[in-house]
Structure 1
Amino acid sequence: MATIPTSAAVSHVGKIRASNQDSGYLGRHLFLVADGMGGHAGGDVASAIAAQRIAEADQPYPTPEDAVMALQSALVAANGLLAETVFEHNELTGMGTTVSAIARVGDRLAVAHIGDSRIYRFRAGELDQITTDHTFVQRLVESGRITPEEAAVHPRRAVLMRVLGDVDASPEIDTGVFDLRPGDRWLLCSDGLSGYVSDEKIAQVLGTIRTAQGAADRLVKESLDHGAPDNVTVLLIDIDDSDGASGATPVFVGSAAQPLSFDHEESARRPIRLPTLLLHPLKPTPPDDAHFEPESEGYLDELIEEDRRRAIRRRVLWGVSVALAAIAIALAVFLGYRWTQTHYFVGVSDGRVAIFQGVQQSIGPISLSQVYQTTSVAIEDLPEYQRTAVMNTISATSLRDAHDIVDRLSAAAGD
């Protein structure tokens, strides 16, 4: 954990992972989060190497466009360094990392991003996601195939389409320039936060806790309270009227803050599994290790076709479930109605005593009884107490009992 006056960085291993594969850098001008990919293949090594290489670009720039170019070059250089590391350590083949980085230049902000870590801007009570996740499920969301809520629990949510590593010599990096306003809060985080804590909750924390350190600590705690199945790293930068240089000593958090090691014991490779019910609401199962898949049309089409088949199976299952539920309801209604028709009571119909079949209740406008037999006994001929009883209906235990009641009423009326 580290703190500077208007910024804070916190990284936590979480409650399930055996090691922290996230890295963060809190500098004077540059800030970044990297989320290692590859699990036992060296996700911690990947994020640490990338963070330490990109941190070399932490310096003042004359224009935000210069900062963008520097960030992009730093990410490409980090990508090459990761490929060289894999060449020297074959056991790390397949490792990679996301990177979300920003550099402040006066009242402007340069952004470079690849992967599914995120950059948010909190301004005037509104939280906006600045970056776009480079994931398969995000592709499905953008194409309208699934909703963001479905993406949060999709079985392919761990598939990354773009990362730094030994997987692509020329990775495509998203860049941009944004304006800054005093009072803005910029949040960089790994998916250990964004995947388990809702945007609404993040906005609430950023809007109610004034200090950067306090807000960053609270966001990590929110992830822990939701089970924290993944590593979680949070960087928070509050924008003031200064030129952006913090004047404090830059710091690393997460795996980048530890000595680099290429030895991974088997015990550290395997995430600890906890029962599903102990985990968070957004993702109901422990997360699979993120892994990269190339953005080839063939593979993407294969994933989309697989998702289409899954959607069809889901719709069929849903349709069968609805049909069975409808049949069960209809059967219950039918049996219930048949049961009501075994009951009788005595009441009034057109001013005369009548025997009714059914029960006295109604379901909305639907009556559960009908006239079975109208007698010749006029209601006005009955003594007052019997007239009142009939008007309030008299329950009978059977049809024979109903006829006996009518006979007694007929005698009372003098018929």
Structure 2
Amino acid sequence: MATVSHSAAASHVGKIRSNNQDSGYAGSALFIVADGMGGHAGGDVASAIATKRVMEADQPYQSAAEAEFALQAALIAANSQIAESVFEHAELTGMGTTVSALVVLDDQVAIAHIGDSRIYLLRDGELSQITIDHTFVQRLVDSGRITEQEAMVHPRRSVLMRVLGDVESAPEVDTSILATRTGDRWLLCSDGLTGVVSHASITAALSTGADAQTVADRLVKETLEGGAPDNVTIVIVDIGPEDERDGAPLLVGSAAGQLAFGEEPARNRALRLPALRLHPVRETHFEPDSQDYLSELIEEDERRARRRKLTWLTAIILLVLAIAGAALLGYQWTQTRYFVGVEGSTVAIYRGVNQDLGPIQLSSVYEDTNLEISELRVYDRDQVEETISASSLEDAKLIVERLQNASNK
């Protein structure tokens, strides 16, 4: 049985940024990289909030599907917590964070991802990117409008289309379950690494056979040698035999320090307004009148609107189906009940219950006995007019037989 044998985490502010807005966590089974944005407005706060909230999902699970659901729920909860912090502290408006998280469970991994931090898998010397960037340029690459090489130098390569923050109450999070095996090496990293160090260099570093912490430190060093214009955070996870686990949980980056929210007093919750559909953008320079860029933003808004409508429509349909199903089951149950009552001037056996649901009748004549109500004794007549409940059809027939015998006396 394969599991985590070694893990490591490293984070560095880089050579240009004044503070580290990245956070990383290497736990017992859970591993996270979060890359905050918002500059001095709170990128470090956003990544720390998200990391510490998602860290709570570092616990045993019965299945990879359960772990996948827990990760998704943790990211949605982190999004709400970030939005709440923005509401309480206006100076944090516009902050957000990417999150890439991975849970190892025996021979499987559960993944949750939003933004442009990445998860890679090194297997048999080949490095594969597992997650897909939620960026503007990735949309251009996917649509064939630019190449991968052009994306590397595109002026809008840092524009995010999906992120945790005060943008959407239920952001779309990518999740998946993949197989893993002994010898696999997983890499989680912020774009501070991939924006500077080439794919080939990352592959070479991961393939050296050095321990996880040595490789993480080497990748940070290569980033710094490349100029490190952004923060860089790296988490490495090695998969090995079950009895080789070592190391204690490690927290790096902004989540490892104390957060300062400023001095602005909290605002009245009752005055909170819905968040506008903004698009978080890292500090970068680009021409705002680009037709491609504007068209992509409009398309993204339309996609979000369609997702919301589809979600509401699905919920309404499920609710209607649940009500219809409950009504059908209820009606079917009533048709297993019987009672004795009056039909015109005779005694009849009814199937159903002696009640109506608006215009819907819940009973019908099952059998007219031809026993005249006038032939019954006064007491029996009153009972039949008020209806006599029966536990079954046989019981109803016995009641009619008793009434007939009594009327003949």
Asked if these proteins are the same fold (TM beyond 0.5), I'd say: yes
Report the Cα distance in structure 2 between the residues aligned to 1:259 and 1:158, rounded to whole angstroms: 27
Question: Any conservation in 1 of the 2:5–2:241 contact (CA below 8 Å)?
Answer: no
Q: Deviations over 1:253-307 (max 9, x none)?
A: 000000111249xxxxxxxxxxxxxxxxxxxxxx96279xxxxx996516699xx
Report the Cα distance in structure 1 between the residues aligned to 2:81 and 2:131, rounded to whole angstroms: 24
Question: Any conservation in 1 of the 2:136–2:293 contact (CA below 8 Å)?
Answer: no
Say whether residues 1:262 and 2:261 are aligned partners. yes
SS at match of 1:57: coil
Measured at CA, do residues 304 and 164 of structure 1 come closer, stay the same or move farther in structure 2, by a change above 3 Å?
closer
Q: Equivalent residue for 1:61?
A: 61
Q: CA deviation at 1:100?
A: 0.1
Q: Equivalent residue for 1:201?
A: 201
The one-letter code of the counterpart of 1:57 is A
SS at match of 2:82: helix
Q: Percent sequence identity over matched residues?
A: 64
1:154-193, aligned counterparts within 5 Å? 154-193=154-193
Say whether residues 1:289 and 2:283 are aligned partners. yes
SS at match of 2:251: strand
In structure 1, the gaps of 5 or more residues are 265-286, 292-296, 306-415
The one-letter code of the counterpart of 1:188 is L
Q: How many residues align?
A: 274
Q: Equivalent residue for 1:277?
A: none
Report the Cα distance in structure 2 between the residues aligned to 1:243 and 1:106, rounded to whole angstroms: 12
Question: Any conservation in 1 of the 2:193–2:219 contact (CA below 8 Å)?
Answer: yes
Larger Rg belongs to: 1
> Which is further off, 202-211 or 68-77?
202-211
Report the Cα distance in structure 1 between the residues aligned to 2:217 and 2:298, rounded to whole angstroms: 39
Question: Any conservation in 2 of the 1:23–1:35 contact (CA below 8 Å)?
Answer: yes
Report the Cα distance in structure 1 between the residues aligned to 2:155 and 2:66, rounded to whole angstroms: 40
SS at match of 2:242: coil
Measured at CA, do residues 209 and 71 of structure 1 come closer, stay the same or move farther in structure 2, by a change above 3 Å?
same
Root mean square deviation of aligned Cα? 2.4
Say whether residues 1:89 and 2:84 are aligned partners. no
Report the Cα distance in structure 1 between the residues aligned to 2:201 and 2:292, rounded to whole angstroms: 38
SS at match of 2:56: helix
Report the Cα distance in structure 2 between the residues aligned to 1:35 and 1:201, rounded to whole angstroms: 22
| Aligned with residue 295 of structure 2, among 273, 295, 301 | 301
1:146-161, aligned counterparts within 5 Å? 146-161=146-161
Question: Any conservation in 2 of the 1:22–1:34 contact (CA below 8 Å)?
Answer: yes
SS at match of 1:94: coil
Q: CA deviation at 1:182?
A: 0.5
Question: Any conservation in 2 of the 1:100–1:188 contact (CA below 8 Å)?
Answer: yes
In structure 2, the gaps of 5 or more residues are 264-280, 286-290, 300-409
Question: Any conservation in 1 of the 2:37–2:282 contact (CA below 8 Å)?
Answer: no
1:326-365, aligned counterparts within 5 Å? none
1:264-283, aligned counterparts within 5 Å? none
Q: Equivalent residue for 1:29?
A: 29
Q: Deviations over 1:74-95 (max 9, x none)?
A: 0000000001000000111110
Q: CA deviation at 1:249?
A: 3.2
SS at match of 1:196: coil
Q: Equivalent residue for 1:241?
A: 241
Q: CA deviation at 1:248?
A: 4.1
Q: Equivalent residue for 1:142?
A: 142
Question: Any conservation in 2 of the 1:106–1:243 contact (CA below 8 Å)?
Answer: no
Measured at CA, do residues 139 and 62 of structure 1 come closer, stay the same or move farther in structure 2, by a change above 3 Å?
same
Report the Cα distance in structure 1 between the residues aligned to 2:292 and 2:198, rounded to whole angstroms: 33
Measured at CA, do residues 153 and 72 of structure 1 come closer, stay the same or move farther in structure 2, by a change above 3 Å?
same
Measured at CA, do residues 109 and 8 of structure 1 come closer, stay the same or move farther in structure 2, by a change above 3 Å?
same
Say whether residues 1:226 and 2:217 are aligned partners. no
Q: Equivalent residue for 2:251?
A: 252
SS at match of 2:52: helix
Report the Cα distance in structure 2 between the residues aligned to 1:103 and 1:300, rounded to whole angstroms: 37
Report the Cα distance in structure 2 between the residues aligned to 1:55 and 1:82, rounded to whole angstroms: 15
